[in-house]
Amino acid sequence: MEFEYAYAGSSAVSNSADSTEMSFSPDTRREPTFFRGEVAKNVAFREAISALHDVVVSDLRWKPKDRTAYKEWLATQEDLDWMAIAAQRGSVARDIKELQEELSALRQRSSKRMGAFYSSRQRYFDYLYKEDMDAWYVLDPVITVHPDELFFECFSEDESTYGRLGTSYEVYKNVGEFACGTTNVDYSQMLYEEFQKVRSYKMTTLEVDPSGFSVETTHEETYKEVKIDLPDSWVRGFLQVSSAMSLPAVSFDLHPMDIHNFCLVLRRNKELVGPRGMCFHLEPGKPIRVVFEPWNHEVVCGRSIYQGDEAHEIRVWGRRRIHTLERLIPVARRFTVHLLGTGLPSFYVADLGDMSFTLGLSGWTANDWSTAGNFDLMAPRADVDDMTKARVFSALKENWAEKPDDLARRLGLDRAVVLGALSAYTQAGRAIYDVNKGVYRVRELTRDPLPMDTLRFANPREESATRFVEQGRVRVNAQERPGGVVELSGSVNDGRRYTPRLSLDADERIVDANCTCNFYTQNKLYKGPCEHMLALRKAHRGRSGSFWNIFR
């Protein structure tokens, strides 16, 4: 999938003794989006934007060692004349002295030395471009300007980690004119290095440069144009994160020192064998306990009491990715953790006062967001007509961010219909759920509509479920439970008889499910619900006569 970006120059940082000016160059091919303001909380912003960079460059995929150079060296050893080498040892001291003199002269010619460095670095990048494209480029992050906050989003190279930095306008002072919208910004390694120079005694100015949109078409050749052929998995993963954030989760708060203790255990120990889990033990009214496998080291979070009503034991993997949060520990007030379930994604939200940093982790490192679980299938799946969906999206765009209940009340629509429409736009990359504030936000991931046929959000399992319902192969029984939960049970005839069972919350989201089919036996819910669960939910929705079916 090819994306084209055009930047009016490159993002840059200008440093002086008393000020730092950061200017992000936006994509000029998108709707004008710009912002300018002075950062009032310099140090916290520096640490948060640096943690975001750690997400961008993160790649924890296993890489086999390249033994090519070693094998070439080993082959040359057979041809060496060891007697001749022994005779040369007497001249080693003289050679070392000559080299030291030469190095001393090189140090005096600093300009030439730096020139050689830049030349060597360029050759290295040229090599990476040809041999290892993944290491050559860093995907440009997405920046969104809203009336209440400015937020950055990014995705790791291994597609298993998502990062979001939200900064409210209280973080800035002397905010100038701004235009709401979403754009891609040019974000280089050198720009990250300049971020490290931000200090509390300097005035720091952040600017998403509006001048890039005033350049005439005849000057397009002066733009910095970038074409990146992104894998479909990267885009699909970005959308799956948005769907996963809207699902029900077990949530609790942790003290910053608890995160420090987690990282300390992982720094001090290296697992050589499995299991490599991190098990959360949650009991109402008691301190949260976390057990690190395979050493069975237990960390008791004495300052973090679980406030939930039910006890849980949830195990997650890919735990070393939480090292991204280390830079935030000194500036964070607390960390809110959202766990979707054992082996399912988790979200860590750092409360930085007027800023928040969200770290989204897939079930485990090797199971990236693209293949993690088809979480869009677990989200509300209301069949809402295009006119109603457009009406909901237009209303959301009026305020840019709004809670589903407020949006439903303002439009006079059923909450389920609004959630169904918002879910559709989330899966199309045009909206995002803000897990920190509990609101849906407008966020156009791309300038042009995404090719949904390529991204295949019309999942094959969903197609099979529709076929089962249309052919009358589904039998469903429903029981209502306290709290608006509906438990569904029944059977699906798919050549043989399967008996799925699932629980739906008041928002029609799947919160628990099981089935007797082989897909569920092998994957549980790690890869999303099976076609029999989907058929059961679809048959119940078709039978219920609820407001959902008015727009079918």
Confidence of residue 482 (pLDDT cuts 50, 70, 90): confident
CA 220 from centroid of its chain's CA atoms: 32
Nearest-CA neighbor of 467 among 521, 538, 399? Answer: 538
> Mapped to the 3 state alphabet, what secondary structure does 203-251 carry?
EEEEEECHHHHCCCHHHHHHCEEEEEECCHHHHHHHHHHHHHHCCCCEE
Give the pLDDT band (50/70/90) at residue 106: confident
| pLDDT at 269 exceeding the cut of 90 | yes
Average pLDDT over residues 358-381: 69
What span, in angstroms and rounded, lies between the C-alpha atoms of 29 and 117?
35
Of 545, 530, 416, 531, the closest CA to residue 484 belongs to 416
pLDDT at 13: 58
| Choice among 2-11, 143-152, 368-377, 500-509 with the minimum mean pLDDT | 2-11
Full-model pTM: 0.71
**CB distance 8 to 211 below 8 Å:** yes
What is residue 297's predicted lDDT score, i.e. its pLDDT? 94
Burial (0-12, 13-18, 19+ Cβ within 10 Å), 516: middle
Domains of the chain as residue ranges with CATH:
4-57+138-215+224-229 (3.10.150), 249-344+360-372 (3.10.150.10), 386-451 (1.10.10.10), 460-551 (3.10.450)
* pLDDT for residue 93: 65
- Number of neighbouring beta carbons within 10 Å of residue 282: 20
Mean pLDDT of 170-195: 78
pLDDT band at 110 (very low <50, low <70, confident <90, very high): low
DSSP state letter for 365: T
- pLDDT over 90 percentage in the chain: 28
Average pLDDT of 530-551? 66
Q: What is the mean pLDDT of residues 178-188?
A: 76
pLDDT for the residue 410 = 93
For the chain, the average pLDDT equals 78
| pLDDT at position 77 | 67
Report the distance separating Cα 334 and Cα 491, nearest Å: 46
* Local structure of 317: helix, strand or coil: coil
**How confident is the model over 110-138, as a mean pLDDT?**
54
pLDDT in tens, 283-314: 999 999 999 999 999 999 999 999 999 999 99
pLDDT tens string 9-65: 555 556 666 666 666 655 556 677 888 888 888 889 889 988 988 888 887 776 677
Phi, psi dihedral angles at 440 (to 5 degrees) = -90, 140
Q: Span 145-160, mean pLDDT?
A: 87
Q: Is 474 helix (H, G, I), strand (E, B) or coil?
A: strand
- For residues 380-408, average pLDDT: 86
Residue 528 or 64, more confident:
528
**482 backbone dihedrals φ, ψ, rounded to 5°:** -60, 150
pLDDT, tens digit (0-9, with 9 covering 90-100), for 438-481 = 899 998 877 666 554 444 444 678 778 888 888 889 999 988 88
Q: Are 358 and 436 in contact (CB under 8 A)?
A: yes
